[in-house]
Amino acid sequence: MIKLSVIMAAYNAKDSIEQAILSIENTVRKNELEIIVVDDFSKDNTCGIIENLQKNYSNIKLYKMEKNTGGPSAPRNLGIEKAAGEYITIVDDDDTVNAENLINILDIAIEKNADFAKGYLINFDGKNKTIENRIGVECENSFDTMEKMIQYQSTTSDMIIRRNFLIENNIKYDSKLKIGEDTVFIAKIFSHKPNVIYIDNYFWIHSTVPEDISNLSSTQNCGDKEIRDQLISWRTTNDILSKITINYYKLRLPASFRNILISIVRYSNGISRECFEELSSFSKETENYTKGTMNLSKRYNDLYEAILSGNYEEFLKQSRRRILINGYDLKFILPIVPYLEKNFEVKVDEWTGHDSHDERKSRNLLEWSDIIWCEWLLGNAVYYSKRRNKNQRLIIRCHKFEIYRDFGQKVNINNVNLFLTVGYYWFEKFSKNFNIPKNKMRLLSNYVESNIYSDKKSPDSKYNIGLVGIVPKLKGLMKALELLKLLKEKNKKFKLYAMGKTYNEISWIKNNPEEFEYFKNCDKFIEENNLKESVIFGGFIERENLYNNIGYVLSLSDNEKPESFHLAPAEGVCAGSIGMLLNWPGVEYIYSDYFIFKGIEEMSEFILKASSDENLFSKTVKKQKEYIISNYDINKFMETLSNYLKQIMIMS
């Protein structure tokens, strides 16, 4: 005899469904269970995976919907209809089950002749497991248990229900609802006064992070349909339960309305004015139950007040996701602010040093923000990692400099959603050096605004090499001078453009004996080799015109402290120059082999050829530019970043 039918609605679940099914089979009493999978017209190999499992497990049944229904309700109804078990339970296709606990809870339900049994659940966000929905007070009887379940639990599907109770009372899921269907379903059950028990145990491990952000669940979207369905489910549930003298609005609406406020901020890309008016009308209708009872931060209270006021424009302003960019030296991140502002509200907390800032300003901006972007793993990352709340998301963007500081040891890694590095070499270094779990790390290369650079070149640019950024010594100014010397031995026309601040303009260089001596030796080399007229110290020039006089942009990084990315060669390529990089550690992960040279001798040979061969020069520029735009154009960068921002909003 089948004691329990486990019903699973499935859609495009090829990455998770096998694990979900095998977790249910992980019990010696699997012969007492059947697993009914109802596929909602998946477009991937979900059915193929299930059919393969059926070869080894005779208790798996597969049914297929003739077309996609857009939600789990219709597949679940079919599963209930086909079930042979005395009891049924519902499991999602991306969740797992503790099968032994499931059997134990089933045994208690049978022993106590329960029509409906529910415990607590475990949420798993990809790294941590937390207990949810635990009722910490004693339940006196079925009616009291129902009230406490409504008050203390979200209406998840981790329930065991006597199947005949559903059939005899004609209880089905409302297939018109995309969200809130579980709430209405449970209300229908309670309205028929079942024997309800709470069991202080769990069997359901609920995944809160989807495998594929293009296949988000209905609870991870928040548009007109989701909000309207939520309003319908609340009204319907309150009407149903009022017939047995249970006030749903009083018991649960504060928590439910608070959750929709959070969902609007996390997942909404805007709702229509008509939908907003419906939401606003409902908020006014239920104000006596929600206002002052939702325990809202200022961020969410402002959003609630905008809804309550009926001011659509204010709602749009308050509902836009907010990004706080913070840190010292924001030159790499500020140029993307105009791109972010298309979809986000953006504010900046610019620190005055690695670990110094306006505390009051930082505290106020923290309260304002939804996403905290720490540029550099420095004191700003430590500060915000210790202060973010559970509804905020935190990203730390690491470059290279931070690996030689100890701030990474002080960061609260548990409070960081993502660490971003600009290259694979530094990905590994940061992970190892600061014990950062790799599932918290992503690659996000630097970017090039390819459309801003002038392609106008001076007549002699093919005879000009350029080093953009000449301090500190690891930038390789001496190597550039040695390369210039080699070139001038063959052609006196060659010059070196050394762009950026000189060592005399930077106080810490003057106070560092090793650095200071290095640059004094560079001065000496220039003088001894009569290069003074051939070395142009260019200072600061706007990026769009920076490369007008430069034909070859160099990266001559020190092997002991290599570059994190070195953007200048990529920028130069977009301005019609040739990018040339020495083979420093990690360069092969960023640039293709036709950018990379073994040493300055090989560089010299290529430059001499290209300067006299127009076809070689233009062909190389074209090939390199295609590579840079394909991999590092700002649009590519923003596409990758947008995906990461979507991902972190569904993280905890």
pLDDT on residue 211: 45
Q: Which residue has the tokens 């063959």?
A: 490
Return the CATH number of the domain spanning residue range 4-216.
Answer: 3.90.550.10
Mean pLDDT of 231-239: 98
Task: For residues 527 and 333, give the distance between their C-alpha atoms in angstroms, rounded to a whole number.
Answer: 39
Q: What would the pLDDT profile of 531-544 be if each residue is shown by its tens digit? A: 999 999 988 888 88
Q: Give phi and psi for 162, each to the nearest 5.
A: -65, 125
Residue 373: name the closest of 312, 417, 406 by CA.
417
450-632 CATH: 3.40.50.2000
- Which of 41, 51, 44, 40 lies closest to 7, judged by CA? 40
What's the confidence (pLDDT) of residue 552?
Answer: 98
Is 425:444 a contact under the CB 8 Å cutoff?
Answer: no
pLDDT band at 370 (very low <50, low <70, confident <90, very high): very high
Amino acid 175: pLDDT? 94
pTM: 0.84
**Coil/strand/helix, residue 495:** strand
Q: What is the pLDDT of residues 298-335, one digit of tens each?
A: 999 999 999 999 999 999 999 999 999 999 999 999 99
pLDDT at 64: 97
The Cα-based distances of 152 to 139, 145, 197 in angstroms read 12, 10, 14
Whether cis (ω within 30° of 0) applies to the bond prior to 585 is no
Q: What is the mean pLDDT of residues 102-122?
A: 97
What residue type is assigned to position 227 of the chain? I
Whole-angstrom distance, CA of residue 470 vs CA of residue 581: 15
How wide is the angle at C-alpha 323 spanned by C-alphas 386 and 337, nearest 5°?
A: 130
Domain 322-447+636-649 coded CATH 3.90.1170.40? no
Rg over alpha carbons for the chain, rounded to the nearest Å, is 31
Residue range 11-23, pLDDT digits in tens: 999 999 999 999 9
Amino acid letter at 597? F
User: What phi and psi values does residue 231 have, to the nearest 5 degrees?
Assistant: -65, -45
Per-residue pLDDT, 650:
79
Domain ranges of the chain: 4-216, 228-319, 322-447+636-649, 450-632
Would you state the pLDDT for residue 366? 97
What pLDDT does residue 127 have?
A: 72
Same fold, 4-216 and 322-447+636-649: no
The letter for the amino acid at 383 is Y
User: What tens digit of pLDDT does each residue of 394-434 get?
Assistant: 999 999 989 999 999 999 999 999 999 999 999 999 999 99
The H or E element that residue 597 is part of is strand 596-597
Q: What is the pLDDT of residue 219?
A: 59
Average pLDDT over every residue of 287-307:
96
pLDDT over 50 at 213, yes or no: no
**Which residue do the tokens 């670990």 mark?**
355
